[in-house]
Structure 1
């Protein structure tokens, strides 16, 4: 069997693992749709290459507003590899205690919110603390991990707890321990990771289920769509309306955050303490 065939075969097995989680995916979609229908946002977070799944969810073709992609460039900017803003720094920072708290300080969270936290190993400090802080504030947390890898990994957190310990629901990318899927003859380390394959399938299954629930509830989403599918005028209208809806939802996360100001007082309510 060729190496290409091996990778495709193992990817098919990943798809089977995702399909077996259909009930859990529908549960995640229920929570996320309830958040969106309440006018709030589903928070998305992933450090390192888990950022890929955040951007897969929103914004891109076939996606819609209601999701808040929290992407910290210091944790996920890989292009330079070495030197300033290099990979060593990113890998160090994703295990700095307290960073998650500083990130979430920017948002006024609500118990109506929900969250998807992605970490293949489920063992790095920042995503673990992110999930912990969400739960402390009454936010439902869905964790997306690679179960085989997480089960055989040691947490970087001092108390040994993992992302799955702070999740209301755990989903599995279906990839292998160590992520890489293919063994090359004469090479003692495997290549070609699979967590992105499984992760992308999981988030798009969730997206489809959420869109269905929103439509059934009488609020069909404005989906970013290609001009060659819906026509140029309709495509432009969908993009503008989806981006505007995102702005309106995002405004709610900022208007009452942190220390009161005369601006926040003009809203007629006191700022929340959840952003502190």
Structure 2
């Protein structure tokens, strides 16, 4: 068996793991659909490479508004690897207690909201605190982790709690401990991670279920769709309307945030 075949075989095992979680995926989708139908948003957060899953949910082709992608550049922009904005800083910052509170200070949360927090290990401080703070606000939390890897890893929190400890529902990427899935002869450490594969399948399985629920409820989503499928004019219409809906939903998260001002108060005067 070639190493390519080895990797693909392990990916097929991940597919089985995702399929076995169908009831959990459907539950997450029901919660998310209820939030979106209420005019609210599902908050999606991930630090480090978990940002990939945030962007997989929204906005991209085949996705639709209703999700609030929370991507902090200080935690995710490490493409330079070293130097300014490098990986060392990002890995340090994702374990700084209190940063999650500063991030969520920007939003007026509601118990109608849901959250999807992604962390393969489930052991870094910022995603754990994000989930904890969401729950304190009455927000249902779905955690997307790698169960085997999380179970073998040590939490960076002093109390030892992990992301799964602050989740109403846990989804498993199906990747192995350490994430990398292929052992190369003569090489000390394995290569080719699998959590992105499992995570993307979970994200899009949820997305499909939510789209069905919204459509059945009479609120079919405005899906970002390629012009080659629906024509350039319709594609532009869908993109513009989807972005506008996102703005309208996001406005609700800002309108009553933090310290009240005269701008945030109802205007009772006659026009």
State TM-score, norm by structure 1.
Answer: 0.96
Aligned to 2:72: 72
Aligned to 1:141: 141
**Aligned partners of 1:60, 1:78: CA distance in 2, in Å?**
21
Please state whether the residue corresponding to 1:208 is helix, strand or coil.
helix
**Aligned partners of 2:78, 2:86: CA distance in 1, in Å?**
7
Determine if the alignment matches structure 1 residue 244 to structure 2 residue 209: no
Please state whether the residue corresponding to 2:184 is helix, strand or coil.
coil
**Aligned partners of 1:136, 1:94: CA distance in 2, in Å?**
20
**Aligned partners of 1:202, 1:14: CA distance in 2, in Å?**
10
Please state whether the residue corresponding to 2:212 is helix, strand or coil.
helix
Give the gaps of 5 or more residues in structure 1: 269-276
Aligned to 1:273: none
Aligned to 2:191: 191
**Aligned partners of 2:243, 2:63: CA distance in 1, in Å?**
11
State TM-score, norm by structure 2.
Answer: 0.98
**Aligned partners of 2:50, 2:256: CA distance in 1, in Å?**
29
Aligned to 1:58: 58
- What whole-Å deviation, never above 9, does each CA across 1:50-99 have from its counterpart, x for those lacking one? 00000000000000000000000000012110001110000000000000
Determine if the alignment matches structure 1 residue 162 to structure 2 residue 162: yes
Q: RMSD over aligned Cα, in angstroms?
A: 0.7
Number of residue pairs the alignment of both structures matches: 268
Report matched runs for 1:125-274 at 5 Å. Answer: 125-266=125-266
**Aligned partners of 1:116, 1:260: CA distance in 2, in Å?**
28
**Aligned partners of 1:251, 1:84: CA distance in 2, in Å?**
33
Please state whether the residue corresponding to 1:89 is helix, strand or coil.
helix
Please state whether the residue corresponding to 1:116 is helix, strand or coil.
strand
Report the Cα offset of residue 266 of structure 1: 3.8
Please state whether the residue corresponding to 1:254 is helix, strand or coil.
helix
Give the gaps of 5 or more residues in structure 2: none
